[in-house]
Structure 1
């Protein structure tokens, strides 16, 4: 096999932890076992809780670096608790929510600014590990890569925030994923199928994708004094780049 082709086909190694403490809060024993086993094998120290109340108690009593929280237990998380004070732990741990596609709309209000993200069920372990890595990356000294950027568009994966010049972009998790996907593939046209698979992990109707792109475009290209960065190639898809 051609060496270049072999390199393209080789899957990148999944991200690994450095012993960070992760709490898994899930009422489904199968999900809990799958996540805890996978995260332990990936280098994390894992605690589990089967109810929201138990999860709150564990977060209050012990300093965790991140919590993976099933959205069906979201009613217990009205106010994230403050863990014990520790110099290397944040006031509130980052949250990775587990949700189903049909209940995602109920989770959206919880996904405002801050260290929060989500993955949809059925769980894809590679996606879970990638989201955990992004949420924890800001606390890995010396390991953060250069910020992804295109011209005056800059993304910060550690905080899941983006800005265009000095203007911050208030993006939802889905909008951030789409923008990063377009940026990584700048100059290349991405089909609706490619976008749907990357942003949601499954197929979505054309209307849902068009609405997502439209919302993102209004935020990224809102200043008429700036050149538009997000473009449509009718019949093919969308691309990010200079005017063309």
Structure 2
């Protein structure tokens, strides 16, 4: 599930976007102004940003500049949303670092199509129905997972947990971030529940003698181990 940050100060449009994008399978976070948006990007970087041009406190153009200036966030795709239709403004938005530009009013069908097109180019593991990491294949449409030539049987929570980790191989997700992405923002779950489900995921993924692809980072969280990916590719070749 791709995480989208919607930065829009018009509440009615913000709620409309949240409702429709959630229906399309996106994990939606909302920011009503530029300062909140920059804080949220720094705390838990989204997979894509929908960014209004005209915002209070910090403009959309300035947010785009700051996101592109930071090493950790420079590759996050950004689609600018604005009422401005002049060619000069469109060019300025793209020169600032936006990946695409949509003029209000726009259709949800076009917006979702453009989001998925941008994600396919920049985050193929997020955009498609199938995600791959080394010899592990996760099919979102059929909810099936394979490791090598065998099926891996996962419960719904373990499936979502693996999906989140496979979207950003190598990235360390804190337990709090995994709680938000797997269980949702409005659900209260004990923090140690994450450890229990990671244990179940490992038990299902790993047979005796197999390398564990899930890496525990002490006091930080969990990640898919990129070293495992290199070893798996070397064996395959």
TM-score band, normalised by shorter chain: 0.3 to 0.5
Per the normalisation by structure 2, the TM-score is 0.46
Per the normalisation by structure 1, the TM-score is 0.44
Q: Which is richer in helix? A: 2
